[in-house]
Amino acid sequence: MRGYLVRRSLQAVVVLWAAFTVSFVVLYLLPGDSLSIKLGGLEGTATQEQIDAVRGAHGLDDPVHVQYVRALGDALTGDLGTSAQTGAPVARTIVDALPQTLALTGVAMLLAVFGGAGVALAATFTRLRALRQVLLSLPAIGISMPGFWVGLLLVQVVSFQWGLLPAMGNEGWESLVLPALTLALPAGAMIAQVLAKSMTTALAEPYVETARAKGAGRVRIHLRHALRNASLPALTLAAVVSGNVLVESVVVETVFSRAGIGRLTAAAVDTQDVAVVQGVVLLAALVFVVVALAVDLLYPVLDPRVGRTV
């Protein structure tokens, strides 16, 4: 177990380093000069000497590999550079915005997992063919809805017509409901799709027959026997989906005018603030690594056979 954790931590470090490198290549080497932002849009009036001075001050005259090594060294000490727009340290900016977005993502994932699993279980449990057909067609619809549109529809109906929940802002739990619902819809739909499929497969397995022969009730067979085996693919998917949900917050936080990582990212892309964008890419990679590790540790709990190979 100890060796396993060490190996996984090393893998995590490699993924983070690679994400740093890929984002460095994309953001710093592609055409498009971040210098104009640093000059504050004054490049038209700045003299050549002033431009050279700014380039020199930011180390943009050095060869690319020197810039890369310096940026990597800084990142290792927790210094992700400064935002070209606000001048604040990127690491600080991200940490400040993180709690709001983590709360939103967390609530959305809870809604997605329970909602998605609920739909999938109801669809496989019911004996009414019509109801099953309706439930099974829901995920396909959920996946096809643009998130920004769903959010605006919710604002329109729930906030303005019914006057129930706030349409924007970060105040209190009420403001969390609509954005979380918007984020949860596509995520839950994907989970429901996969879980319904693997539940159907699991229910055709011989052990279900055995359980039935021993006199287990339908609820027990579905929840204790089939669900436990069917949940592994859904769990893997949920790990991938949680990263998507984090990034979808770019759209949803814009729709609901909430402060957080998503709004920060949208603003950074808008102003081509590359240091902030790179910071968010690293954050996403970190989330991916942590969630993947958590899922790997959860596998043996659900399926003891997995644990023996570790």
Residues that bind another protein (CB under 8 A): 15, 18-19, 21-23, 26-27, 30-32, 140-141, 143-149, 152-153, 155-156, 160, 167, 243-244, 246-248, 250-251, 254-255, 265-266, 268-270, 272-274, 277-278, 280-281, 284-285, 288-289
Distance CA 235, CA 144 (A): 22
Distance CA 75, CA 77 (A): 5
Question: Residue 223 Cβ, how far from another protein at the closest point, in Å?
Answer: 29
Which of 126, 133 has the CB closer to another protein? Answer: 133
Phi/psi at 82 (nearest 5 deg)?
Answer: -115, 150
Helices 274-302, 261-270: crossing angle, 10 deg rounding = 140
- Of 72, 68, 33, 74, nearest to 54 (Cα)? 33
Per DSSP, 82 falls in state: B
Distance CA 62, CA 55 (A): 9
Q: Are 208 and 124 in contact (CB under 8 A)?
A: no
Which of 30, 213 has the CB closer to another protein? Answer: 30
Q: Are 90 and 275 in contact (CB under 8 A)?
A: yes
> What 3-state class would DSSP assign to 272?
coil
Question: Residue 1 Cβ, how far from another protein at the closest point, in Å?
Answer: 24
Within a 10 A sphere around the Cβ of 81, how many other Cβ atoms? Answer: 18
Question: Residue 91 Cβ, how far from another protein at the closest point, in Å?
Answer: 18
Which of 156, 210 has the CB closer to another protein? Answer: 156
Question: Residue 103 Cβ, how far from another protein at the closest point, in Å?
Answer: 19
Which of 7, 224 has the CB closer to another protein? Answer: 7
Distance CA 197, CA 211 (A): 21
Which of 286, 297 has the CB closer to another protein? Answer: 286
Which of 190, 227 has the CB closer to another protein? Answer: 190
Which of 167, 211 has the CB closer to another protein? Answer: 167
Question: Residue 47 Cβ, how far from another protein at the closest point, in Å?
Answer: 25
Question: Residue 214 Cβ, how far from another protein at the closest point, in Å?
Answer: 34
Concatenating the DSSP letter of every residue in 23-66 gives: HHIIIIISSS-THHHHTTT-TTTS-HHHHHHHHHHTTTTS-HHH
Which of 187, 202 has the CB closer to another protein? Answer: 187
Distance CA 195, CA 201 (A): 10
Question: Residue 256 Cβ, how far from another protein at the closest point, in Å?
Answer: 11
Listed in sequence order, the DSSP H helices in 62-145 are 64-76, 90-125, 129-144
Question: Residue 160 Cβ, how far from another protein at the closest point, in Å?
Answer: 5
